[in-house]
Structure 1
C-alpha cells in the first residue's frame, strides 16, 4: 500500500526550521544548556531532540497534528538530556502552528488540553516536591504549551472573522452587481415596451396602407394610402424624437413630454378610425367611469392607455371587418379595460405581428399587480371575438404591499 505524499513544506517553514537548528547547534557548541539535573549524561544526546524538533518545524503548516505529536515526544525526551533552549522555543512555535493551521476540532481541543496538562504538572509537582519551585515549573510549562495554544486560538479567530467579513463583502458586491443587472434588464424592458407602444401603431398603419397602395391599381386609393402613410410617419417620427430625448441627458427639450392619459383615448380612436377605414373597421368607446371620481395613479393611467393603444394596433393588423369596441369601467378598487375586435379571416393586406405587444401588455399589468387575459371568446351571435381584458388596481400601492 502506497502512502500519500505530504505536500512540500513552504519555504518560510524550511527557513524557520534551519534557523532553529543552527541556533541550537551554536548553543550546544558553547555548552549552554537549560537542565541542571539530567538522566542521560552524553553530550550528543541533546542534539537528538533538537534535530527532531527542527524537522517538525518544517511540517508546522503541512502536517500540524503530526508535528505536535512528535514535537511533544521530542520536548519530553529533551528533559532527560542537557536540554537546549532552541528546542523549547521551536516547540512553542509548533504548538502555536498546530492551533492556527490545524483542523478546527484540534484547534478547539489543544488550548484546553495544554491547560489541563499545565494544571496537572503544577499540582503533581506540588504534591511531590512540596515547595514553591513546583509553581515556577508549572508557570514555565504553561508558557511553552498553554500560552502558545491560546495565542494561536486568538489569531485563528481573528483570521476567521476577517475571512467572514471578506466573504460578506464579496457577497454584498455580488448582490449589488445582480441588483444592477436586474435594474438594467428592467429598464431595457421598460424602454422596449415604450418604444413598441409609441411607434408600433404608426408603423402598422404604414405597412397596411403601403401594401394596399402597391396591390391596388387605383389612383384615389393610392392617394388616400399615401396620405395616411405620411401622417403616421410624421407622428411616429415625432414620438421617436420624444423617446430619444428622454433617453439622453441633454435632449434640448425645455420640458419633458407629458405621459399620455385616458383623456386622450378619443384622439387615439380618431386616429385608429382613419387608419382602419380602408380595412372595414369601426371603433367605439364606452366609458362607464363616474364623472368627478378620484383620479387614477399615474402608472395606472399610462398602463391603461398603452393597453388600449396596443389593442387598437393589433386590431388594425389582424381584425376582420367589423367593430372594435373599447370599454372602461371602474369601481372602488380597480379599473377594468376591455377591448374586443372581430376574430376571423381578414381580406386584403395585413401587417405581420411579432407577439411582443401581448408580452408588453402582460408585463405592464404584472408590474402593477393586476390581472390580464387575451384570447378569443364567444360572442352573443355565436361568432368569436378577440378580447383583451385587464384589471388594474385603482389605488396607489406602497412598496411593502
Structure 2
C-alpha cells in the first residue's frame, strides 16, 4: 500500500503539469468537442483530475493507473473534452508497457492495435464518411503509438541491462583470471626459489654444523670450502632469479633454463656436498642416444625434480648410494631417484615439506604421475624412492 502513497518525482511532475495545463485550457475555453450530454464546462475537470491522479501511479502501480486512466478517458468523451486528459493518458499507456509486467508489455500493443482497427471499422460503418478514418487515427495515436513506444524503450533498456550484466560478469571473470594468474605465478616463483637455493643452503647448513661440532682443522677447512662454494653458487642462482623477475628490455635475451644435460654437474656437486655424510651419488641415463629433444617445460621439471630429490637426500638420507635414473618409455620420460632410508649420525638440515609439494605441483602441471615414499629395496634394506612420469609431447603440457 505504501507504493500507492509515495509516487516518484517524475510522476508528481507529470501529474502536476497535466493538471495545470488542463486547468489553463479549461480557463481559456479550449475544448476538444462539444454537443455532448454533459456539456457544462466544469464537468470537464472531473476526468482531468482523475487522470492526473492516475499519473501519480504510473510507475508504482501501472496496471491500476491504466485502468483508472482508461475510465477517465472514456468519461472525458461525454464532456466537452480536454486535450490535457488525452495527453496524460498517452503517458499512462506508455508507462503501463514500460513499467508493467512482461505479459502486459506483450499484450498491450496487440490489444491497442486491435482496438484501433476495430474502432476505425466501426466508425466507418456508422458514419459512412471518410472522416471516420480520422477518429481511428486519433485512437491509434492515443493508445497504440504510446504502447509501441513503450515496447521499444523497454527492449532497449533490457538490452542495456543485459549488456551491463555481461560486462560485469566479464569483469568478474577477468578479475578471477588475474587472481589465478597471480597465484600461479607466485607458486611458480616459490618452486623456482626453493629448488634453486635449497640445495646450496642445505649443504651450507650441514657443513657449518659439522665445522662447529667437530674439532678438527682439516674437517673444518673442508667444510668451510664447501660452504663457500655453495654460498657463491646459491648467490649466483639468486641473482639469476632476480634477473628473471626484473622487467628487461625488448632486446634482452631470456636466461637459459637448466636442462638434463647439466645433471652430471648436479650429481658431482651432490657427491662433494654429501661426502661427509657417506652419500655416493650416481647417474644412470637409460635413454637412447640421439633421441628427440624434450620440450622445455618437461626438461625443466625433470631437472628440478632431480635437484630437489638430491637436496632431500643430502638433508635426510642415511649413508649409502643415491641413484638418479632417467628413462624413456614411449611418450613418457621417467625420472627416479633412490636413496638409503633411515637415521644417520652427524649433522642434518631441517625440512619444511615444501619440496615434495613443489615436485607434485610440477608433475601435475604437465599431466604426469608422481610418487614418493619409503619401500623395501632389493637387498632387504629400506630405500626412499621418488618417481615421476612426464609426458614428452608438447600438446600434453598444460599451462
Q: What range is the shorter-chain TM-score in? A: over 0.9
Matched residue, 1:81: 79
8 Å contact kept, 1:56–1:71: yes
Matched residue, 1:204: 202
Matched residue, 1:6: 4
Q: Is 1:268 the equivalent of 2:266?
A: yes
| Per-residue deviation, residues 316-348 of structure 1 (Å, max 9, x unmatched) | 111111111111001331110011111122222
Matched residue, 2:156: 158
Q: CA deviation at 1:23?
A: 0.5
Q: Secondary structure at the match of 2:351?
A: coil
Q: Distance in 1 between matches of 2:248 and 2:391?
A: 35
TM-score (norm 2): 0.95
8 Å contact kept, 1:64–1:98: yes
8 Å contact kept, 1:7–1:62: no
Q: Report matched runs for 1:239-388 at 5 Å.
A: 239-250=237-248, 256-388=254-386
Matched residue, 1:142: 140
Q: CA deviation at 1:260?
A: 1.0
Q: Distance in 2 between matches of 1:20 and 1:244?
A: 74
Matched residue, 1:49: 47
Q: CA deviation at 1:159?
A: 1.3
* 4+ long deviations beyond 6 Å: 398-401
Matched residue, 2:66: 68
Q: 1:399–1:28: structure 2 CA closer, same or farther, 3 Å change rule?
A: farther
Q: CA deviation at 1:125?
A: 2.4
Q: Distance in 2 between matches of 1:268 and 1:186?
A: 27
Q: 1:399–1:171: structure 2 CA closer, same or farther, 3 Å change rule?
A: farther
Q: Distance in 1 between matches of 2:47 and 2:69?
A: 8
Q: 1:374–1:398: structure 2 CA closer, same or farther, 3 Å change rule?
A: closer
Matched residue, 2:173: 175
Query: Over aligned residue pairs, what C-alpha RMSD do you find?
Result: 1.9
TM-score (norm 1): 0.94
Q: Equivalent of 1:188, from 162, 186, 189?
A: 186
Gaps of 5+ in 1: none
Q: Secondary structure at the match of 1:73?
A: helix
Q: CA deviation at 1:308?
A: 0.3
Q: CA deviation at 1:238?
A: 0.8
Q: Distance in 2 between matches of 1:333 and 1:373?
A: 19
Q: Distance in 2 between matches of 1:399 and 1:382?
A: 38
Q: 1:223–1:376: structure 2 CA closer, same or farther, 3 Å change rule?
A: same
Q: Distance in 1 between matches of 2:257 and 2:11?
A: 71
Q: Secondary structure at the match of 2:4?
A: coil
Matched residue, 1:98: 96
Q: Distance in 2 between matches of 1:136 and 1:323?
A: 107
| Per-residue deviation, residues 12-48 of structure 1 (Å, max 9, x unmatched) | 2211111110110011111111122312133211111
Matched residue, 1:107: 105
Q: Distance in 2 between matches of 1:327 and 1:398?
A: 23
Q: 1:397–1:241: structure 2 CA closer, same or farther, 3 Å change rule?
A: same
Q: Single out whichever of 158-167 and 312-321 deviates more from structure 2.
A: 158-167
Q: CA deviation at 1:95?
A: 0.4
Q: 1:344–1:242: structure 2 CA closer, same or farther, 3 Å change rule?
A: same
Q: CA deviation at 1:256?
A: 4.1
| Per-residue deviation, residues 354-390 of structure 1 (Å, max 9, x unmatched) | 1111111111111112111111222122332111111
Q: Distance in 2 between matches of 1:210 and 1:38?
A: 114
